[in-house]
Structure 1
Amino acid sequence: MKQVRPKKNLGQHFLTDLSIARRIADTVDACPDIPVLEVGPGMGVMTQYLVEKPRPLRVVEIDRESVDYLNNTLFKDVQENNPIIEGDFLRMDLRTLFDGGQFVLTGNYPYDISSQIFFKMLDNRDLIPCCTGMIQREVALRMASQPGNKQYGILSVLTQAWYNVEYLFTVEPGVFNPPPKVQSAVIRMMRNDVQHLGCDEQLFKRVVKTVFNQRRKMLRVSLRQLLPADSKLFTTHPDFLTLRPEQLSIQQFVELTNLVDEQLCATTI
């Protein structure tokens, strides 16, 4: 059967190096004994190694040509319980998979929607104790970055609030068809022990996004988008508010969220 044609509109860059494919597939072993969901299997270069593992596997693929290819190659002898789900991962109800149980999320993620995939992971963090896979190196660096680093940003804070992020290795463009214009990287995220942040989680996200949208400004400037100019916060915590968002730890963002919450409640009384 002829190979699948990579489609630019789907952000497809098919991995051709089998050794790297196996290395990525093996990252799921950090969280054994639960099923695996692979996003965007394409022609199954990673899938062929995932199916060897003694655990349930399902794959979700939006590209009809790729689905047909997998059905005629890797899964041609599967008579029932076909693991292929044809559809858009971003629109899926993940609680319908694996009888509502936990699973490892993995894949060679399309660069243009990788952040959306990880935000969906965060929304379903009780289902996904481990997430691995390959993304654009720049995004991987942001996700794993620590405070004080220029890559530290919204994705860093929101992800690290719930997961321990590990940058595993870099992948060069030449092992893809077609080669992307940027480097790629493989990461692994393991759910941490945090069950509640200790603040309003929706407001936490709002605060993080607000201050990082003006990341070069001090907090006292960017927070004026959330609080009135005469808010007591600007006078009671002057030193704290001279910091810039990239200097704050996760815990400091929690503290900041609680301070903002207090002021918002005060203005509505």
Structure 2
Amino acid sequence: MEPHTDHLAKAAAGLRLLDDPDRHPWPIVAQAAAEVPRHVYRALLALKAYDELTPVDQVAMCSALAEGHVIGDHARSAPTARLYARLDHLADECAHFGAECDPSMSWRFDPKRGTQLDRAVDHLTVYAALDPVWQAQVIDRLTPPRELSTRLMRALRYVAPPTPQPRPALDEVLTEAVEHMGRDEVQGTATATATAQDLVGRLSRMPQEWQLHVMRRLDLGATPLDAISSAAMARNLVHHRLGLDGWQAPTAALPPTS
């Protein structure tokens, strides 16, 4: 059996666990979450396909590796609602890269993924053209009220957090910001929270490929705190190689974090 075939078979088996996690013990699910992206990554390496990925897809693969690593670290602890919520996106990303390796196998992932990347480019172009005060307003509008306290409650799996108010869509928030800025309305850092202003700074210091990754996550419904913090965590983890043999950092997307 070719090395990539073995890795893809193991990835497909792990994805079957991630597709229906409630039917399996949490430690097994968490272990699968850690192993599936590693098998997919190694298959890409074996096929010499990793360097053929766009920088944005290299970032997505790195993010999946880091996400799986974090979930796997919680294999021995009680699972939380937030960990379960992260499984769907992880499985979708890994299935996409599995299809990149061997499209003849049965992989289940969102067929609109390519459109998501196109939208991320459009959203980042609009966001980057805003003044920093309006960028902070965008981040503020996308942040649910009491997000920090809600995240603490989610850490307890059997405590249901308050039902959040519907979050406005990224398209809507960006369009409003452009219109307000065009009318020279005074708004921005005076009303944006300190957290929003900090997140704007953190996002601006990321390479463009990681900024696009964040925009895609925001468009999919992630909060700014989750999307930006997860990207920063992923950059840090993959920079330290996660103990992977044959690790290759993204060719253009992952400069040293020091």
Give the number of the structure whose alpha-carbon radius of gyration is greater.
1
With normalisation by structure 1, the TM-score equals: 0.29
Question: 1 or 2, which has the higher helix percentage?
Answer: 2
With normalisation by structure 2, the TM-score equals: 0.30
